[in-house]
Amino acid sequence: MRTKAIIRLLFTVSVVFWLALVLIDVSIVFSASNNLHSGLPSWLPNVVLDLFILALFFYYRLKFDRDDVLNFVDLLWRVFATGLVATVVSLVLKLIEYLLGSTRLTTDVVFVDLIYLINLGLMVGFLTMAFTAWKRLILYQKSKWLLRLWNFFEWTLLLSLLYNAFDFPFVEGLFWSMLSFFVVIGLVLSANMKWVAYLNFRQKWTSLLLLLLTIFYLLYISFTNSSIVEVLSGMTPEFTNYRFHVFILSLMTFVTVYSIFSFLVILFNLPTTSVFEQKLEEVVNFQRISQSIQTEQNEDSVYNILLETSVSTVFADAAWLEVKSGNPNAKLFTYKITERESQDIINHLKAKNVKGILDQGSDKTKNLSKHLATLKGCRFRSILAFPIYVKGENIGTLALLKELAEGFNREMTKIVSTFANQAGISIENFRLMEEALQNERYKEELKIAKMVQKSLLPEVLEKDSDFEIAAFSESADEVGGDYYDTLRTNDHRVSLIVADVSGKGTTAAFHMSQMKGIFHSLAQDCIKPDEFMCRANQALVYCLERGSFISATFFTINTHTKTVHYARAGHCPLLYYNASREKAEYFKDKGIALGMVKNRSYSNFIEANEFEYKSGDIMVLYTDGVTESKNDKGEQFGYDRLADILVEIHDLNPGEIQDHLMKRLYEFSGTTNINDDYTTMIVKFT
Amino acid sequence: MIHIKRLQEDGVDIIALIGEIDASSSIELDLAIAKSVGEGFSKILVDCNSLEYISSAGLGVFMSYIEEFKDQNIKMVLFGMNENVANTFEILGLNELLKIGKDKAQAKSMVNEL
């Protein structure tokens, strides 16, 4: 906002100074022509003119600084528009003069002076505007040296205003040397035309037109002004003559010279524009291929982009891309050629036994044009083929065709081969990213499965005055399928289950939830353990996929009779501590895992057992993760170690036994980073 | 890691398992058995002499073939298991569903008897 206000202020100030100049100059001229003494010092009009120039100079400078994004054509357009306005106003003045005819007014010195001052103002405005615009063009892609030279030029020019401001005695030598000094610097600066290269063909034409008109305006305005000055100087010597103004003259020369230079440079650049544009397009195409990996949805679009960009870069008449990734039938992407036609060419080259790129056996770019000549009815005369590599594996061939013989040059070969390489990298990246995404998805899935698994395990276990239960389950990074649960069926009966679902991951969690459903529905009605297993097997046979099974042990504790009924279906044998005998032993009953036998003969493979418990007896239920846990020597934790530990710590309560067991297990494996699921359920009778 | 070798003796396909079978290597075991069946062998011996460990996934592979072999009258006998491996089979009850011999000679006679 502040700069905007300053810009407005500067404009107003410059207008005010111009009006002041008009007043002062007219009054001087009027006084002189009427032989009166105006009383104004002779240097005043010059100072006011300089102030006017200064205000205008900074006005344009700030105005241009504000528009950062101005492009070249817009810049030229502005200069042109300003010139147009100045010229039109000047022409209107001329028209008025013409319409008035040679009356007294038109020959009146004051009137002529007024016209002159208006023209002068317009010219100075146009010149400063053009100067500021050219500054922008020259300093595009500036170097330190260039910037220094420019600043020197600008500041010495402004300093020259001082020379004009005070009525120094006119020294011809000084005047001309200053002028020629500025002209020389201006010429040196005019050599900076880098911006021209960045115009495209259309923009160049527009610029040429705009510059031509700008040059015309410049010439017209300087001609008009000098002719008015001629007339005026014939009438009176006492007016502000710009022809001795170093600043204005230097500016005029510089602006005109730069305009003409630009015009010529653009004109001579026109024929080579297409080359530059092509190079630019190559860069853009290259970027497109590299970026395609981030934006495109699939490999196909990468292939399509490769095809398009290659064709447009080398001006091929047709092209195809043969991709042999995975599937036996190569996929063909074509551009301006039918699949049949390209297949014909491929077959022809094969038939000719051309050992080249097309059979994907070679890894060098090949120009196979000479072989095309022998193919009848083929409209193409040049062919160039490139291999595409992904992870060192040749996944396809890019073939470019031209109807012209010898249509490809070395340069094109290089460019397209870079494209092909880049496309290979893009596809490789693309595949890697896809893999990473897939992994991420699996991880997410696993997280959910783990949550499900956790939620399936009971938070609170049954309690009884006869026994106390502690249970614990910890799974490795992957989701395991360990399950335990308790259910009270009536005031003196409680059912327990420990199960291990084969396999890991989501399916394991899924089967675990099935097992939970089965347990909670079957255990409700005081079912016998072997009956439980038979019916669970029957239910699971149709749910488990090939090769999956569930091992389980099911118990019912009867606190009236102080007996435990149980059945073991392929699960790790129960470890039982007998308090009266002070011994721990495994109950290795017969029984195969659930889901292994698909027919009703399962009942033959399962048996139910029972035992009486006494106070101090301990049941340790666990999954194979515990006994199969290995130490760094590859030894298993094993059954004996487990039993020994139990004997050692049989006095502790279930929770403590469990903690101690886990501690020993971690000590044994030497790491807390478990690679299987550890699950224990400890029941201590009281 | 598992290494699987196959060799044929008197029309019997012997699949030797060397190493450990876990969840990932069980796929190789599955492939080896499927290949043997695919080649038309009706007598298959599985040499477990060098099998150090088998996980439940590996057992699942043997289990999954039980019904199929019964239907197609294909005989499979495992032999030479170490104590650990044999224990794993026993706990799951697979020893009741599969034929398990002591050594190669016994396994051979078992497979021919059946």
Band of residue A658 on the pLDDT scale cut at 50, 70, 90: very high
| Cβ(A568)–Cβ(A587) below 8 Å | yes
Tokens, residue A660: 């101690």
Tokens, residue A657: 């036994």
Q: Do A503 and B94 touch (CB under 8 A)?
A: no
pLDDT higher at A374 or B42: B42
Please list, in sequence order, all residues whose beta carbon lies within 8 angstroms of the beta carbon of residue A582, skipping any fewer than 6 positions away: A647, A650
Q: Do A551 and B56 touch (CB under 8 A)?
A: yes
Count of CB atoms situated within 10 Å of the CB of A493: 18
Instruction: Compute CA distances A9 → A58, A127, A248, whole Å.
Output: 11, 20, 23
Contacts of A569 in chain B (CB under 8 A): 93
> Which residue range is the domain that position B17 belongs to?
2-113
Band of residue A385 on the pLDDT scale cut at 50, 70, 90: confident
CA separation for the pair A482, A472 (Å, rounded): 10
Question: Which pLDDT score is estimated for A366?
Answer: 59
Q: Do A548 and B60 touch (CB under 8 A)?
A: yes
Question: Which pLDDT score is estimated for A211?
Answer: 93
CA separation for the pair A493, A495 (Å, rounded): 7
Is A573 part of the contact surface with chain B (CB cutoff 8 Å)?
A: yes
User: Which residue in chain B has the smallest CA separation from A545?
Assistant: B64
Q: How many CA atoms lie within 13 A of A69 on its CB side?
A: 0
DSSP for residue A336: S
CA separation for the pair B29, A668 (Å, rounded): 31
Residue type, A372: L
Band of residue A66 on the pLDDT scale cut at 50, 70, 90: confident
pLDDT higher than 90, residue A526: no
Contacts of A636 in chain B (CB under 8 A): 84
Question: Lowest-confidence range among A260-269, A335-344, A563-572, A647-656?
Answer: A335-344
As a whole number, mean pLDDT of residues A247-267 equals 92
CA torsion, ordered A174, A180, A182, A185, to nearest 10 deg: -140
As a whole number, mean pLDDT of residues A174-203 equals 87
User: Residue B12 is part of a domain; what is its CATH number?
Assistant: 3.30.750.24
Question: Which pLDDT score is estimated for A233?
Answer: 81
pLDDT higher than 70, residue A304: yes
pLDDT higher than 70, residue A293: no
Min Cα distance B93 → chain A (Å) is 4
- The residue to which tokens 């938070």 are assigned: A459
Q: Do A572 and B57 touch (CB under 8 A)?
A: no
- The residue to which tokens 């990298």 are assigned: A425
Residue type, A79: V
Q: Do B60 and A636 touch (CB under 8 A)?
A: no
pLDDT higher than 90, residue A577: yes
Q: In this complex, how many residue pairs, one in chain A and one in chain B, have their CB atoms less than 8 Å apart? A: 62
Q: What is the mean pLDDT of chain A?
A: 85
Q: Do B64 and A598 touch (CB under 8 A)?
A: no
Q: What is the mean pLDDT of chain B?
A: 88
Question: Which pLDDT score is estimated for A624?
Answer: 85
Band of residue A209 on the pLDDT scale cut at 50, 70, 90: very high
Count of CB atoms situated within 10 Å of the CB of A542: 8
Q: Do A593 and B92 touch (CB under 8 A)?
A: yes
Q: What are phi and psi of A657, to 5 degrees?
A: -60, -45
| Cβ(B14)–Cβ(B45) below 8 Å | yes
Question: Which pLDDT score is estimated for A123?
Answer: 92
Question: Which pLDDT score is estimated for A447?
Answer: 83
Question: Which pLDDT score is estimated for A550?
Answer: 92
As a whole number, mean pLDDT of residues A251-260 equals 92
Question: How many domains is chain B partitioned into structurally?
Answer: 1
**Most confident stretch, A78-92, A97-111, A310-324:** A78-92
pLDDT higher than 90, residue A236: no
Count of CB atoms situated within 10 Å of the CB of A552: 28
Of A547, A570, A605, the CB nearest to B61: A547
Question: Which pLDDT score is estimated for A416?
Answer: 81
Condensed to tens digits (0 to 9), the pLDDT of residues B4-60 reads: 988 888 888 999 999 988 878 888 899 999 999 988 888 999 999 999 888 888 888
Condensed to tens digits (0 to 9), the pLDDT of residues A528-540 reads: 999 999 999 999 9
Handedness of CA A549, A550, A553, A558 (dihedral sign): negative
Q: Do A624 and B56 touch (CB under 8 A)?
A: yes
- The residue to which tokens 């693309």 are assigned: A430
As a whole number, mean pLDDT of residues A169-198 equals 84
CA separation for the pair A649, A424 (Å, rounded): 64
CA separation for the pair A535, A555 (Å, rounded): 15
> Is A291 strand, coil or helix?
helix
Question: Which pLDDT score is estimated for A253?
Answer: 92
As a whole number, mean pLDDT of residues A447-456 equals 83
Q: Do B60 and A551 touch (CB under 8 A)?
A: no
What burial class does residue A207 get, using C-beta atoms within 10 Å of its C-beta: 0-12 exposed, 13-18 middle, 19+ buried?
A: buried
User: What is the Cα gyration radius of chain A?
Assistant: 48
Band of residue A364 on the pLDDT scale cut at 50, 70, 90: low
User: Which residue in chain A has the smallest CA separation from B30?
Assistant: A547
pLDDT > 70 fraction of chain A, expressed in percent and rounded:
93
Is A592 part of the contact surface with chain B (CB cutoff 8 Å)?
A: yes
Q: Do A593 and B93 touch (CB under 8 A)?
A: yes
Q: Which of A475, A549, A601 best tests the B interface by mutation, with the highest count of B CBs <10 A?
A: A549
Band of residue A309 on the pLDDT scale cut at 50, 70, 90: confident
User: What ipTM score was computed for the predicted complex, to two decimals?
Assistant: 0.88
User: Which residue in chain A has the smallest CA separation from B27?
Assistant: A547
Band of residue A170 on the pLDDT scale cut at 50, 70, 90: low
Question: Which pLDDT score is estimated for A387?
Answer: 83
Condensed to tens digits (0 to 9), the pLDDT of residues A675-686 reads: 678 899 999 998
pTM for this entry? 0.55
Question: Lowest-confidence range among A5-19, A126-140, A221-235?
Answer: A221-235
Chain B residues within 8 A (CB-CB) of chain A?
23, 30, 53, 56-57, 59-61, 63-64, 66-67, 84, 88, 90-94, 96-97
Q: Which of A475, A477, A479, A502 best tests the B interface by mutation, with the highest count of B CBs <10 A?
A: A502
pLDDT higher at A526 or A124: A124
Q: Which of A546, A571, A677 best tests the B interface by mutation, with the highest count of B CBs <10 A?
A: A546
Contacts of B67 in chain A (CB under 8 A): 598
Q: Which of A596, A599, A627, A633 best tests the B interface by mutation, with the highest count of B CBs <10 A?
A: A596
Of B23, B67, B91, the CB nearest to A504: B23
| Cβ(A346)–Cβ(A334) below 8 Å | no
Condensed to tens digits (0 to 9), the pLDDT of residues A606-638 reads: 889 999 999 999 999 998 888 888 888 878 888
User: Which residue in chain A has the smallest CA separation from B90?
Assistant: A570
Band of residue A478 on the pLDDT scale cut at 50, 70, 90: low
pLDDT higher at B7 or A39: B7
Is A598 part of the contact surface with chain B (CB cutoff 8 Å)?
A: yes
